[in-house]
Structure 1
């Protein structure tokens, strides 16, 4: 029987199953080798499409290709179960458990990845006490299974060689687990399973794309040489700065010292380090200097910047591109344009449909330098679907720089810490936590494994004082403000300063203040910013704002918190609605940012019109910050006498996490369980396993009993469901027009990459409202959505009757 794995669209050439399995195995091995699990990953690669060795699949695929208008019934052939079933049959026995339990673990870890590679990892035990994993590998009957095994051992690898390969994989697994205490094994097995799944997904899709494009080999890049060139270019730029006239100005001297310190610190071994450069201290270049020096010293393959908002991705990426003189190898990943569907796409494998082309589009973070968001980072580890997790293996052998790390949502703290610990301890990655306001991530229950003597900056209190460019004025602990009162305040300040920024906590109050200001008779440009605007729109607004600021012309900007996280703007005066100390500090960083003037004022106010009932984290932060302000007003020496002191910040975060302690482990209300338990609880402590024992009076015949798919289905970085939608703004209109006219997978990849900057995310109620009013159109077989004209404007972005107050992290 001639086997068929895929049939190329343009010339109908066949890729055999054995060619596909061996090529995917080779790619998966290269991904696994990065963390010492070459054979574990290779095992998944060589077995994943084993079920294509059947007459049933061959007939199914030929019929689908020859009769595209009347394809066979979807889901009529299962080809992903066979590989997992073979491992279960060979390794998952009582005899093997007695002789080598690591082989039993191996069958579960690799088997789950294999049977899931067209959807998402299965639950070993779900809330209904069923094992979807066992249903597939143990219970499901495959009519041609004996033929499948015969073809595999005759055409891919002999039984003897396969047995030796499994032995090597089991040895790797034993070594992997031996690095950790036994009570941590289930956490490590969860991450290992996800890493194998990531390697398999990327290897499978990369090989399929190469075959479809008629390319034999995956392109390779000498990253070590590239990082060496980058470092030389960066140092050339730094030398240029040192010869400028203003080099001896105090703030520039301090920035130079911070940069030099990062260069020296980069010689230390990989670990988790903190870079607490005060706002305006040149964090981007200092962290880049650390990363490039460390990369070339320790053979790292990627530098990944993780930022809280898409607002600053383009700004930072452009700054890095200019310095490194490279427009090709720096990737900006703003958002997922495609909604990652939950349905299984196994029925389309082998054919090149629209959905398959979307799946094969290059989206795996294999660039030398990547800029992405905190939401995307967390989705890689915990979100449902295969698009996000495909990127996980490329986080290994990397330097990962978290910019404004204090923006990690409280509900995701434990999950974030566990993921970062995995990258440090198992993936040969180095982590840099950058912020002026370091959160106490080693204070919580699931602690971050921060390296000893982790802080790069010496004598932090003195550095904070040296960088002081603003005075925080307390207008919040004894009075309250309305938007009308803010306008009166702005009118008085306009007599003293040229530029003013107002940062408020909710989108509705921001929009209301903006409209009230427009109604006044001031002859001053007034700007509005919020996440209702796509990234390209916000960047254009910010460019106009910077032009006014650089020319010293009068301007007022009203914004939500998105402007605080690293946006390089400098106003004469900032008014910040009371929130957490970290938010106040970040807002202060938008005032007198480069020390252009003597000490300027940042006014903290308590805005009585803000509804924080659905914004628990802001509400709690506001309460603690207000008490600290009250303390300082009563005693000028309290908390170091400064609301932005290290003492005040330490007290703030410890109290903040203590109050929100019950929220740190991502609680899932409808299941009455924490996500950390679903993912990492040992079998004997697993609630579902204990309930299974009680119900059936026996233990389930599995070593791993965690619920990976249930956890993923219930994970949202932002609590409310959102859907990406392309907006008809600027080039977004052209992108929407081109969605149905692309030619190749490469064309589609480029188009979707470009579309990221013209995408916003709709909450469910917004999506439902727009669908009801015919405001959305779908493209690419319902995989991509776009707003119709009229649903977006140049002032507010998304046009909705009722504004949503949530202005959280942007995809």
Structure 2
């Protein structure tokens, strides 16, 4: 009787262990080839379910099918340890060499972790979760599993040859002339191998469940050729426009042409510093498509700071490329699987399993996602995140508004980009009008020499000047009452005013205060308490009012600054970092449609910035620069938006936060960079402690704490939870998620739900629970707001007392 990997729910068809292991091996090899580690990835694929070669697992899965209403306890049979144990037994107890030992550790960790997350080789308590699995755990049928593997999957001789090739790949990988820290590169390699295994395993399992032999593969090369032709046609059409030969439009065309020419350079890390309104999205897309064509890149990924920008940029690109199907928007994980440890499969596929298999691996040709999601791929717990990592290789990755990298993540961000450049053959573009000094910090970004795509930047910045920054911040302090009067006074001079403040609470209060005055023209509110679909609807209304030249006020948090295409006559910005002031200025007279307009920088005394340290410090540095310029107008290039002022700002900013750049974990009193790249040489006390406890040296080459690091990683300090909101189509999504659809249906629903989610801080989630404002879906794996917990004006309502008709928009 065959050993069983899976039994299909629809027809009870069996997938044997041999079929599954060889299929996953083949898929993993194809993913691994991108880094030149085909055999390392394949080794993980063919050993990951070695433990299913056991009578115990066969009995378990048959029992689960025969008794679907009372199946055996999920995870009661450990089938993921055996593959890692085999590698440890062969390459760590007999003929030990560094290369094969490292292969055993890198691949073995991925194997034993493929139902949860990578284990610690040595954790801060000086225990080895890895060793407790591969060395100490007893498996009753381990000998049977090994014998079956060598009989049915690969002979012992071929297996040793295969591992030898994997060891050669690892040696070549580490011999890269750019490598300065083997442990750092091995950390990324381990995560890459883990990513290939997770995706290959889940993809093969899903294909078997859907009774399909393989994935339909899009011809990306042909697609990028078509896209480039369509973009070129669009750009040529601009040249026929009556205003095509104005100085500004001629400069836009020149910068776009420079990006096209720059695409012929080899892959690397480059900067694109087009000022706001300079056509950055199209210019970067032009670079990306041409570079992808010339250098055979597999996908183009746009990484933006906020979900707000995703829909706008994606829609703009869709219209130009005339393709609805192949452009993916990934806002956030509607479902988190950080605590998953689904070791075994029952006969009837559970919701948890369907959610795990739902396609969510970033294999689209063009992807729009956020900085949070990008960093989560590399550093956050949960196999859903890391599954996407291998698809970042051989890509063009464009970071829009890169200055928004969170301070605590600067070193981690730089290291991830260096890995993608040096090993993963990706090309990186840092896109912003305010380039941060990422090559100034300790773990610096390896930016290419002559990295800037645009020539004569100072001239370009001057040519694009459309606003005057008026310093109101260094001589008076505003409250909401005074600010409301100031806004009203400006509305007598201009048609439209945008006010950007630093906290949601003052935004909401100013909005309510202005509403009470009943000025007779529309006033809009924007914040992250509203889901993306809601914000987009408000922004569409705002744009329509602006295009009509109607009188309008908009009060917003900083979410409107980065990449949102709106143009007001006047902008009032609460004092913050220079980059934020520059971004705010980009929402004023954006297209130079009027003569020079005013951007007022004010000091708002009612903002509580105690929990917003980055904004607080940025505000202090900006104030110092403003004072310098007030004293002598030749300081810092003469104005606060100059390249000199911006360089000074970021160097002071990073110096102020120097101790935070490496993601310090207070609870452990360690930096994450140390946990991820610890070496036995550098941290030799690890070994001495291990000798005291175990009476022998740590029998491993690696000492990294992958799992501990991931458990403590949150891009945003306060861990948030995504919830679906009952706004427009969000209602239908919530209702449909209560059903029991197929994996394909679930994949579509989760994708659709992206635009109807908001993120809750812990205290918000607790308040909503107290007020019965939350509903649980999918056995508690997904949360949604009740009708009363969402309001058409403000979005989230913690009191859960919004009238039902508040959503009837």
Moved more, 344-353 or 315-324: 344-353
Once the two structures are TM-superposed, the CA of residue 253 in structure 1 deviates from its matched residue by 1.4
The residue that corresponds to 1:42 in the other structure is 42
Helix, strand or coil at the partner of 1:247: coil
The residue that corresponds to 1:310 in the other structure is 307
Q: Is the 8 A contact 1:405 1:433 kept in 2?
A: yes
Helix, strand or coil at the partner of 1:488: helix
- 1:424-439 superposed matches below 5 A: 424-439=421-436
1:264 to 261, 264, 268: 261
Q: Aligned pair in 2 of structure 1 residues 549, 687: CA closer, same or farther (>3 Å)? A: farther
Helix, strand or coil at the partner of 1:451: coil
Q: Aligned partners of 2:547 and 2:347: how far apart in 1?
A: 56
* 1:340-379, Cα deviation, whole Å (9 max, x unpaired): 2313111336752110000000000000000000000000
1:507 to 504, 509, 513: 504
1:75 aligns with 2:75: yes
1:644 to 628, 641, 651: 641
Q: Aligned partners of 1:451 and 1:656: how far apart in 2?
A: 23
The residue that corresponds to 1:737 in the other structure is 735
1:241 aligns with 2:241: no
The residue that corresponds to 1:58 in the other structure is 58
* 1:495-534, Cα deviation, whole Å (9 max, x unpaired): 1100100000000010110010111130110000000000
The residue that corresponds to 1:112 in the other structure is 109
Q: Aligned partners of 2:346 and 2:75: how far apart in 1?
A: 10
Helix, strand or coil at the partner of 1:238: helix
- 1:519-530 superposed matches below 5 A: 519-530=516-527
1:721 aligns with 2:725: no
Once the two structures are TM-superposed, the CA of residue 698 in structure 1 deviates from its matched residue by 4.3
1:122 to 114, 119, 125: 119
Q: Aligned pair in 2 of structure 1 residues 392, 620: CA closer, same or farther (>3 Å)? A: same
The residue that corresponds to 2:31 in the other structure is 31
Number of matched pairs: 799
The residue that corresponds to 1:464 in the other structure is 461
The residue that corresponds to 1:169 in the other structure is 166
Q: Aligned partners of 1:785 and 1:685: how far apart in 2?
A: 44
- 1:323-722 superposed matches below 5 A: 323-348=320-345, 352-686=349-683, 689=686, 692-693=689-690, 695-696=692-693, 698-722=696-720
Q: Is the 8 A contact 2:568 2:588 kept in 1?
A: yes
Q: Is the 8 A contact 1:77 1:347 kept in 2?
A: yes
The residue that corresponds to 2:15 in the other structure is 15
The residue that corresponds to 1:793 in the other structure is 791
The residue that corresponds to 1:206 in the other structure is 203
Once the two structures are TM-superposed, the CA of residue 166 in structure 1 deviates from its matched residue by 0.5
Once the two structures are TM-superposed, the CA of residue 95 in structure 1 deviates from its matched residue by 2.8
* 1:251-282, Cα deviation, whole Å (9 max, x unpaired): 21121111101000000000000000001111
Q: Aligned partners of 1:72 and 1:703: how far apart in 2?
A: 38
Helix, strand or coil at the partner of 2:783: strand
Q: Aligned partners of 2:395 and 2:771: how far apart in 1?
A: 46
Once the two structures are TM-superposed, the CA of residue 799 in structure 1 deviates from its matched residue by 0.6
Q: Is the 8 A contact 2:79 2:344 kept in 1?
A: no
The residue that corresponds to 1:775 in the other structure is 773
TM-score of the two chains, using structure 1 as the length reference: 0.97
Q: Aligned partners of 1:667 and 1:33: how far apart in 2?
A: 35
Q: Is the 8 A contact 2:17 2:49 kept in 1?
A: yes
* 1:705-751, Cα deviation, whole Å (9 max, x unpaired): 11000000000000111111100001000110111224211001001
Q: Aligned partners of 1:649 and 1:350: how far apart in 2?
A: 60
Q: Aligned partners of 1:165 and 1:273: how far apart in 2?
A: 38
Q: Aligned partners of 1:252 and 1:377: how far apart in 2?
A: 34
Once the two structures are TM-superposed, the CA of residue 777 in structure 1 deviates from its matched residue by 1.1
2:754 to 753, 756, 762: 756
Q: Is the 8 A contact 1:308 1:565 kept in 2?
A: yes
Once the two structures are TM-superposed, the CA of residue 181 in structure 1 deviates from its matched residue by 7.1
Helix, strand or coil at the partner of 1:91: helix
* 1:83-104, Cα deviation, whole Å (9 max, x unpaired): 000011111136322xxx1100
* 1:751-805, Cα deviation, whole Å (9 max, x unpaired): 1100110011111111111112221111111111111110001111001269xxx
Q: Aligned pair in 2 of structure 1 residues 407, 352: CA closer, same or farther (>3 Å)? A: same
Helix, strand or coil at the partner of 2:11: coil
Q: Is the 8 A contact 1:74 1:347 kept in 2?
A: yes
Q: Aligned partners of 1:686 and 1:763: how far apart in 2?
A: 36
* 1:440-474, Cα deviation, whole Å (9 max, x unpaired): 00000000000010001111111100010001000
Q: Is the 8 A contact 1:125 1:707 kept in 2?
A: yes
TM-score of the two chains, using structure 2 as the length reference: 0.98
The residue that corresponds to 1:95 in the other structure is 95
Helix, strand or coil at the partner of 1:670: coil
Helix, strand or coil at the partner of 2:675: helix
* 1:71-114, Cα deviation, whole Å (9 max, x unpaired): 112332000000000011111136322xxx11000000000000
Q: Aligned pair in 2 of structure 1 residues 497, 687: CA closer, same or farther (>3 Å)? A: farther
The residue that corresponds to 1:84 in the other structure is 84
Q: Which runs of 5+ in 1 are unaligned?
A: 803-811
